[in-house]
Amino acid sequence: MNITFRQLRLFMALADTGSVTRAARECHVTQPTASMQLKEVSESVGVPLYEVIAKRVHLTDAGRDLARTARVIADEWAAFEQKIDATKGLSRGKLRVAVVSTAKYFVPRMLGAFCARYPEIDISLEVLNRDGVVQRLRDNLDDLYIMSQPPSDMDLDDQVFMPNPLVMIAASTHPLAARAHVTLADLSPWRFILRERGSGTRMAVDAHFKQLGFKPNLRLELGSNEAIRAAVAGDLGISVVSSHALQGDAAGYGVSVLRVDGFPIASNWHVVRQKGKQPSPIAQVFQTHLLAQAAHWRQA
């Protein structure tokens, strides 16, 4: 097979975007040039690498294998470039981080401090639900992944770096908000609003309630902390959220943290990557920065 590195980058863009036109745009070539180059890649491999259904590109098994191989090659080359830059006293390159949606309340600030120190580093930050982050982790698309519930069926380098306490909230006007002590029995009459199944918060909440032998009276399942905060403030029900989602200002969102037996739920933030993945120098520096920032926050 005779495939150039530039063609591999184009094929990776095709795999990521699902579109020849968008892949061409990402690689700064014309659409006809992209089509021709992708055809040459398929001919060189000798088997179909993708098919177009309803105007969207779908990779074949061989295409997915090639995309994974191309990413490994691209990652190794990027790491090599960064090492050479380091020997020259330079700090530049690209850092790719994927985080679950609740982490968006603190990760951008940590990234901001990192960018101020290393202004020539380009940052790609993907904010997704847990399923989306886990899929990117399985596909090895990023340098680091931040979540509260790493998948148990993968072999991971996993480092806990910061607590993620889960608190129970109700509307500021709710009868339980003024109580100094709330039991699980006190919660039985009230309806609950919880995150969608599969989210890290929901997984931790379900496991905790099961351990306590409590079954919440569920009214709504919502896919974002913003929607939950608004619904709780509107007195539609009680919920459990990460304390980070309140940003230290529960009253500002029209909610109160309830003092309930067995709460807050002890949880943690993890920074993970696939075991055996060689981190780039920039990823290593950022992980060190992340741990230092987290330690500073805990002491504050």
Q: Could you tell me the residue ranges of all domains in the chain?
A: 1-89, 91-163+268-299, 166-257
Q: Among 268, 272, 275, 273, which Cα is nearest to 294's? A: 268
In this prediction, residue 189 carries a pLDDT of 92
Contacts of residue 173, defined as CB under 8 A and 6 or more positions apart, other chains included, come to 235
The per-residue DSSP string of 97-132 comes to EEEEGGGGGTHHHHHHHHHHH-TTEEEEEEEE-HHH
In this prediction, residue 298 carries a pLDDT of 64
State if pTM tops 0.75.
Answer: no
In this prediction, residue 91 carries a pLDDT of 62
Kindly list the distances between the CA atom of residue 115 and the CA atoms of 72, 109, 145, 246, 286, in Å, as whole numbers in the listed order: 26, 10, 18, 25, 10
Chunked into runs of 10 residues, the chain (300 residues) has average pLDDT values of 86 89 89 89 89 85 90 82 64 85 90 85 91 93 94 94 94 94 93 94 94 93 94 96 93 95 94 88 87 73
In this prediction, residue 282 carries a pLDDT of 84
CATH number among 2.60.40.10, 2.40.170.20, 1.10.287.110, 3.40.190.10, domain 91-163+268-299: 3.40.190.10
In this prediction, residue 88 carries a pLDDT of 54
In this prediction, residue 31 carries a pLDDT of 87
Task: Assess whether the region 1-89 and the region 166-257 belong to the same CATH fold.
Answer: no
Indicate the fold that domain 1-89 takes in CATH. Arc Repressor Mutant, subunit A (1.10.10)
In this prediction, residue 92 carries a pLDDT of 66
Q: What is the CATH number of domain 166-257?
A: 3.40.190.10
In this prediction, residue 295 carries a pLDDT of 78
In this prediction, residue 153 carries a pLDDT of 93
Strands 156-163, 268-274: pairing kind: antiparallel
In this prediction, residue 199 carries a pLDDT of 92
Task: Determine contact, residues 232/256, Cβ cutoff 8 Å.
Answer: no
Q: Is 191 left (phi over 0), alpha (psi -120 to 50) or beta?
A: beta
**Encoded amino acid at 192, one letter:** F
Q: Among 72, 56, 200, 66, which Cα is nearest to 132's? A: 200
